[in-house]
Amino acid sequence: MKTLNELMRLDGRRALVMGGSGHIGRVACETLKELGARVAVLDAQPSDGLFFPCDLKDEAATRKTIRYAIHELKGLDILIHLAAYVGTTKIPGWAVPFEKQTVQAWEEALKVNLTSVFVGVQESREDLQTSAHGSVVLFSSIYGIIGPDFRLYEGTEMANPAAYNASKGGILQMTKYFATLLAPKVRVNAISPGGIHRNQPNAFVERYRQKTPLGRMGREEDLKGAVAYLVGDLSCYVTGHNLVIDGGFSIW
Ligand SMILES: NC(=O)c1ccc[n+]([C@@H]2O[C@H](COP(=O)([O-])OP(=O)(O)OC[C@H]3O[C@@H](n4cnc5c(N)ncnc54)[C@H](O)[C@@H]3O)[C@@H](O)[C@H]2O)c1
């Protein structure tokens, strides 16, 4: 029987991280590297290491860049997708009250948060299937599972756009769709983080904390164990699962 350490190691595995330059993305890349994987990042913002710039709103560019990245990695074992328009993304008609949210922002967000997952999996499918350890990890959110409690945002400039929730719910359905489609060679799972503490207004942080059984907002580091578990052989009999890392926020 393999040891836990043997099951956890990713030596020789090749990983592509879409959205790997972001806050959680950087931690996901670090986790992969710590475990021995070779990591390529595809993002609009630069990152250290093997980096491929790409605007995920552009389908043709995304397909071409993914092909190129896989060529440079000489194959693919792991695909992680975390790229997203999030609550702090600064575009007009996005993180504003519902009556001011625009269809243009909605459509752009769906392209990044959801359509680029479809494209990413379509382009990498064959390479993942030829790996003996093909694994896909998609990032949803507590807002893919539960509705927003707008009382949390009262008196702040914060907002929770409708397209964010729609796209994160969509990620969970795509996880199940791809899990059955790509089985048995490739496993597909989701991680749903709760809110990560990043200098939000005190009133919000305090209300959020009160609603969280473990009594605090998340930290990027809280996601390391989930990434390590789902990308490799520790979870070799797990597919179509949504691993919720939210301090219990969504259980009541
Ligand atoms: N931070 C949280 O509280 C939280 C909570 C639940 C879920 N999540 C999810 O975790 C994932 C990572 O979130 P994060 O907090 O690290 O966000 P982040 O904004 O730090 O990272 C998102 C990344 O996506 C990239 N991106 C956005 N639009 C792009 C485009 N058009 N083309 C290429 N790249 C693009 C950004 O450049 C950025 O590097 C997201 O899917 C998010 O929905 C985050």
The answer to whether residue 163 is domain-embedded is yes
CA-to-CA distance for 208 and 249, rounded, in angstroms? 8
How many other CB atoms are found less than 10 A from the CB of residue 226?
Answer: 21
Domain at 153, CATH number: 3.40.50.720
The answer to whether residue 105 is domain-embedded is yes
Confidence (pLDDT) at 115: 98
Confidence (pLDDT) at 71: 98
Residue 51 CA from chain centroid, whole number: 17
Confidence (pLDDT) at 126: 98
Could you tell me the mean pLDDT of each successive run of 10 residues in the chain, 252 residues long? 97 98 98 98 97 98 98 98 97 97 98 98 98 98 98 95 98 98 98 97 98 98 98 98 98 95
Confidence (pLDDT) at 141: 98
Expressed in angstroms and rounded, the spacing between residue 6 Cα and the centre of ligand 1 is 31
Radius of gyration of the chain (CA): 18
What's the domain count of the chain?
A: 1
C-alpha pair distances (Å), 230 with each of 29, 81, 122, 153, 213:
14, 13, 20, 32, 24
Confidence (pLDDT) at 37: 98
The answer to whether residue 250 is domain-embedded is no
The answer to whether residue 164 is domain-embedded is yes
Expressed in angstroms and rounded, the spacing between residue 191 Cα and the centre of ligand 1 is 13
Expressed in angstroms and rounded, the spacing between residue 35 Cα and the centre of ligand 1 is 23
Inter-residue contact 18 to 43 (CB < 8 Å): yes
**Which residues have CB under 6 Å of ligand 1?**
19, 21-25, 43-45, 54-57, 82-84, 86, 112, 139, 141, 193, 195-196
Confidence (pLDDT) at 195: 98
The answer to whether residue 107 is domain-embedded is yes
Range of the domain at 185: 4-245
Confidence (pLDDT) at 15: 98
**Best mutation site among 16, 43, 56, 242 for ligand 1 pocket (most ligand atoms within 8 Å of CB):** 43
CA-to-CA distance for 108 and 112, rounded, in angstroms? 6
Expressed in angstroms and rounded, the spacing between residue 106 Cα and the centre of ligand 1 is 16
The answer to whether residue 251 is domain-embedded is no
Inter-residue contact 82 to 56 (CB < 8 Å): no
The answer to whether residue 252 is domain-embedded is no
Phi-psi region of 93 (alpha: psi -120 to 50; beta: other; left: phi over 0): left
Confidence (pLDDT) at 89: 96
**Best mutation site among 52, 86, 197, 243 for ligand 1 pocket (most ligand atoms within 8 Å of CB):** 86
CA angle in degrees (0–180, nearest 5) for 11-17-23: 110
The answer to whether residue 212 is domain-embedded is yes
Expressed in angstroms and rounded, the spacing between residue 155 Cα and the centre of ligand 1 is 25
